[in-house]
Chains A and B, each alone.
Chain A
């Protein structure tokens, strides 16, 4: 049988960086084929070639046996290749029907909306999606938005569906529903390509898996024939040691959050009655699917968002002090590793030295208000770069934005930890980082814990939370609904994440 999609010896370089190195991939109609690999392994690049966003430097692409050269995403779409991106390409103020009409244009607007709405309803019913074409996309839940994206490509006549990290933003239950639905679509004759880094999904739902590493295709196998460890080894190249856990030695309470309530600009209550405390030498992990108030909690903890009511108290020489602004919190010994580096931690267009030094400028470490000492800043930055293994630094005066994700994160940590903080708030600290960088971040958090800092770890990655935390709080719909002590049972935590309303 000819494969629906066949990519042969694809090569793609950007400047001197080789993104795809003779990569091969083929998917048949009716199968769910997973594309497995770490961040940076080349999965996204390969799929960008498949959907027409990238043109390969060398290699061929065959559709149902015939060679094609795509001129762009429109041609790919016309030929039946539909991509559901990880970051949805939806216009939030438009309705579902308008969004789908945008991607699948008709000649007349009025008629087009009616036709498309009918088709949406038909397919939605058939798949059990429950999507109303007249609703605005901005009001839909994340899972519903994803279903809209799937409907978009199906209406466009896609016979080859590429799903990029579809379960990243879903709860375990929603993920299960989605993947079952996807199997159903495959059963009707479509070819489904599942791009993911989650082994569990691969083992459960994929007929075959292609593993990529460093731009190369490493193996194409049936996942049911390999153990999780074997698959991990193929993906990462070696088994990374888990950070060793020392038994916790907990001191007094360092930070306490009391009845915190945060409302978003549109009136939606994002955080309601959140209360918890963290002791010295403890890592308190907050688990939950993203979008349940974690961002608002992190912003409130950083002092960037003013809560509607409630208190955040940091222990300062035996007394509990209410903290509000970022400057105040830092003065009390708090440090922050935000999820979005370039919104809350690093100024991309400024140099590495400046980004590092801003942590100490206020305290007079680098000179008085009237005369700053550049040399002292450079010296400290150099020492920190070495100590925290920040790579890719050609000169200290280069722009911070040029650092790769992992190194930028290390720079943030280098700066934040340079003042030996008592309280650390880390929000999705390993998002977008590869395995090695993630391990480095985790070991830093663990050593901070050992030095007696209180660490709050907010993360959508349940594995991360389970591996690092001494206690785990579960957040759903803006409330902390459960607390567990380590070692926690994954099933219980997962149930808490979806069960409580």
Chain B
């Protein structure tokens, strides 16, 4: 039989292994239908949620109340619903930010630092009253994006020119950005009227307008998501990104401008995070406050990871994360569960999904 007619890919492994008398063989699957993949994914997400539920019950939340809190209350209570819809916007944006960067093989873990700079940029415009009232809002958004872009560009150039590991550099820069924020809020930008460490309030025309009674942040985020989706699915840039993600060596060899594609992706990622920062600062308190960026880094990573960097799926996952977030706040108020629980649930889900990849890629044969 000619070797050309068949694939030689999946060579199953070595001699059968023994595990306490059960012999099993590990085989790489040749291909797996998308339906099965989705089923496995859903199953493991459910497992993750299940484990989290058990922890919550052990921590003192009555089981019945869990479903109540997480699903019913968040969606039916109108205040909660408003919060969920509003919160969804920055989650969508950081999720997109992480996805765009990951597609270019750049681990942008500086999301929170970039959000901070986004907030700083917008607040600068507000404090110094730059630009006419009618254009103030777009200018603030632009400034937010620009500052965040400049911040991430440092890490981006360090990687491209000096091969400095971006995981550590972007993370360290988060701490630098945070301390700078404290410096501003406790110093020059401290609100003179009440002496608290937050910036002076934004004027009404400097905040996102409401649309149909709900915050304008969500429509903004959805439009951005559509733009990103168009970018990665239909444009030449998106096509090139696919290659860079698959193998930057091959991409370079076939003539794709890898460095340029990577840099643009990184800058775009930064801009998205910066806008997210502005959305949170402007929408939550209407001013720059101390820890407004907390919790967004891992949320962004989770959204990118679960949605496999697909912008449309990212929107859905972001809304689910938003529900988790708001429920977390309720849990904190009613059951004294620390907000860190949200982070724990997120981590458990990611771990379960990551573990599921193994089962998707391999098949285990029990040999008797």
B46: chain A residues within 8 A (beta carbon):
none
A333 part of interface (Cβ distance < 8 Å): no
Chain B: which residue is nearest A406 at the CB level?
B4
Contacts known (A350-B242, A369-B235, A369-B237); A392 close to B7, Cβ less than 8 A: yes
Could you say which of B239, B252, B254 has the most chain A C-beta atoms within 10 Å of its C-beta?
B254
Residues of A within 8 A of B (CB): 14-18, 39-40, 52-55, 70-72, 214-215, 302-304, 325-327, 329-331, 336, 338, 342-350, 354, 357-359, 361-362, 367-372, 391-392, 398-399, 401-407, 434, 436-437
Contact A345 B253 (CB under 8 A): yes
Contact B234 A370 (CB under 8 A): yes
Cross-chain contact of B10 among A15, A405, A436 (Cβ < 8 A): A15
Contacts known (A361-B239, A372-B236); A347 close to B246, Cβ less than 8 A: yes
Contacts known (A392-B4, A436-B2, A437-B4); A358 close to B10, Cβ less than 8 A: no
Contact A54 B243 (CB under 8 A): no
Distance to closest chain B CB from A87 (angstroms): 15
Contact B255 A326 (CB under 8 A): yes
Contacts known (A342-B250, A434-B2); A327 close to B9, Cβ less than 8 A: no
Contact count A vs B, C-beta below 8 Å: 133
> 4 closest Cβ contacts across the A-B interface?
A40-B3, A347-B246, A327-B255, A344-B253
8 A-B pairs, CB-CB below 8 angstroms?
Answer: A40-B8, A54-B15, A338-B253, A345-B250, A371-B234, A401-B9, A402-B30, A436-B2
Q: In the bound complex, how far is the Cα of B6 from the Cα of A218, in angstroms?
A: 22
Distance to closest chain A CB from B176 (angstroms): 32
B366: chain A residues within 8 A (beta carbon):
none
Contact B234 A326 (CB under 8 A): no
Q: In the bound complex, how far is the Cα of B249 from the Cα of A317, in angstroms?
A: 30
Contact A354 B235 (CB under 8 A): no
Contact A392 B6 (CB under 8 A): yes
Chain B: which residue is nearest A21 at the CB level?
B1
B79 part of interface (Cβ distance < 8 Å): no
B81: chain A residues within 8 A (beta carbon):
none
Using a CB-CB cutoff of 8 Å, which residues 4-34 of chain B contact chain A? Answer: 4-12, 14-16, 27, 30-31
Distance to closest chain A CB from B267 (angstroms): 18
B184 part of interface (Cβ distance < 8 Å): no
**In the complex, given contacts A326-B252, A399-B31, what are 10 additional A-B residue pairs having Cβ atoms less than 8 angstroms apart?**
A40-B3, A53-B14, A303-B253, A349-B246, A354-B243, A358-B239, A370-B235, A371-B235, A404-B8, A434-B2
B61 part of interface (Cβ distance < 8 Å): no
Distance to closest chain B CB from A368 (angstroms): 8
Chain B: which residue is nearest A326 at the CB level?
B255
Contacts known (A72-B15, A392-B4, A402-B7); A15 close to B250, Cβ less than 8 A: no
A372: chain B residues within 8 A (beta carbon):
234-236, 239
Q: In the bound complex, how far is the Cα of B255 from the Cα of A362, in angstroms?
A: 9
Contact A17 B255 (CB under 8 A): no
Cross-chain contact of B4 among A52, A54, A398, A407 (Cβ < 8 A): A407
Q: In the bound complex, how far is the Cα of B30 from the Cα of A344, in angstroms?
A: 24
B30: chain A residues within 8 A (beta carbon):
15, 402
Q: In the bound complex, how far is the Cα of B39 from the Cα of A121, in angstroms?
A: 61
Q: In the bound complex, how far is the Cα of B260 from the Cα of A325, in angstroms?
A: 14
Q: In the bound complex, how far is the Cα of B252 from the Cα of A302, in angstroms?
A: 10
Q: In the bound complex, how far is the Cα of B7 from the Cα of A40, in angstroms?
A: 12
Contact A391 B5 (CB under 8 A): yes
B257 part of interface (Cβ distance < 8 Å): yes
Prevailing SS type, chain B contact patch:
loop
Cross-chain contact of B15 among A16, A55, A391, A392 (Cβ < 8 A): A55
Residues of B within 8 A of A (CB): 1-12, 14-16, 27, 30-31, 234-237, 239-240, 242-243, 246-247, 249-257
A343: chain B residues within 8 A (beta carbon):
247, 249-250, 253
B250: chain A residues within 8 A (beta carbon):
342-347
B255: chain A residues within 8 A (beta carbon):
325-327, 329-331, 362
B234: chain A residues within 8 A (beta carbon):
370-372
B247: chain A residues within 8 A (beta carbon):
342-343, 347-349
Chain B: which residue is nearest A71 at the CB level?
B15
Q: In the bound complex, how far is the Cα of B254 from the Cα of A7, in angstroms?
A: 47
Contacts known (A327-B257, A347-B246, A402-B30); A54 close to B14, Cβ less than 8 A: yes
Contact A350 B246 (CB under 8 A): yes
Q: In the bound complex, how far is the Cα of B4 from the Cα of A330, in angstroms?
A: 29
Contact B253 A336 (CB under 8 A): yes
Contact B246 A348 (CB under 8 A): yes
Q: In the bound complex, how far is the Cα of B250 from the Cα of A342, in angstroms?
A: 7
Q: In the bound complex, how far is the Cα of B15 from the Cα of A361, in angstroms?
A: 45
A40: chain B residues within 8 A (beta carbon):
2-3, 8
Cross-chain contact of A436 among B4, B239, B249, B257 (Cβ < 8 A): B4
Contact B31 A398 (CB under 8 A): yes
A392: chain B residues within 8 A (beta carbon):
4-7
Chain A: which residue is nearest B25 at the CB level?
A55
Could you say which of A338, A345, A358, A367 has the most chain B C-beta atoms within 10 Å of its C-beta?
A358
Contact A345 B31 (CB under 8 A): no
Chain A: which residue is nearest B8 at the CB level?
A404
A391: chain B residues within 8 A (beta carbon):
4-5
Contact A304 B3 (CB under 8 A): no
A336: chain B residues within 8 A (beta carbon):
253
Cross-chain contact of A17 among B6, B243, B249, B256 (Cβ < 8 A): B6
Q: In the bound complex, how far is the Cα of B254 from the Cα of A100, in angstroms?
A: 41
Contacts known (A347-B251, A398-B31); A15 close to B14, Cβ less than 8 A: no
Distance to closest chain B CB from A329 (angstroms): 8
Distance to closest chain A CB from B233 (angstroms): 9
Q: In the bound complex, how far is the Cα of B243 from the Cα of A348, in angstroms?
A: 10
Distance to closest chain A CB from B206 (angstroms): 33
A345: chain B residues within 8 A (beta carbon):
250, 253-254
Distance to closest chain A CB from B243 (angstroms): 6
Distance to closest chain B CB from A49 (angstroms): 10
Contact B6 A369 (CB under 8 A): no
Q: In the bound complex, how far is the Cα of B13 from the Cα of A14, in angstroms?
A: 10
Q: In the bound complex, how far is the Cα of B254 from the Cα of A344, in angstroms?
A: 7
Distance to closest chain B CB from A302 (angstroms): 6
Contact B11 A14 (CB under 8 A): yes
Q: In the bound complex, how far is the Cα of B246 from the Cα of A346, in angstroms?
A: 10
Distance to closest chain B CB from A338 (angstroms): 7
Distance to closest chain A CB from B114 (angstroms): 27
Contact A18 B1 (CB under 8 A): yes
Chain A: which residue is nearest B18 at the CB level?
A71
Distance to closest chain A CB from B163 (angstroms): 12
B31: chain A residues within 8 A (beta carbon):
398-399, 402
Q: In the bound complex, how far is the Cα of B5 from the Cα of A372, in angstroms?
A: 32
Q: In the bound complex, how far is the Cα of B2 from the Cα of A215, in angstroms?
A: 10
A406: chain B residues within 8 A (beta carbon):
3-4
Contact B8 A358 (CB under 8 A): no
Q: In the bound complex, how far is the Cα of B9 from the Cα of A122, in angstroms?
A: 43
Q: In the bound complex, how far is the Cα of B238 from the Cα of A91, in angstroms?
A: 40
Contact B246 A404 (CB under 8 A): no
A214: chain B residues within 8 A (beta carbon):
1
Contact B254 A359 (CB under 8 A): yes
Q: In the bound complex, how far is the Cα of B7 from the Cα of A39, in angstroms?
A: 14
Chain B: which residue is nearest A327 at the CB level?
B255
Chain B: which residue is nearest A359 at the CB level?
B254
Distance to closest chain B CB from A327 (angstroms): 4
Contact B256 A55 (CB under 8 A): no
Contact A326 B10 (CB under 8 A): no
Q: In the bound complex, how far is the Cα of B249 from the Cα of A350, in angstroms?
A: 14
Q: In the bound complex, how far is the Cα of B6 from the Cα of A129, in angstroms?
A: 43
Contact A404 B253 (CB under 8 A): no
Distance to closest chain B CB from A154 (angstroms): 25
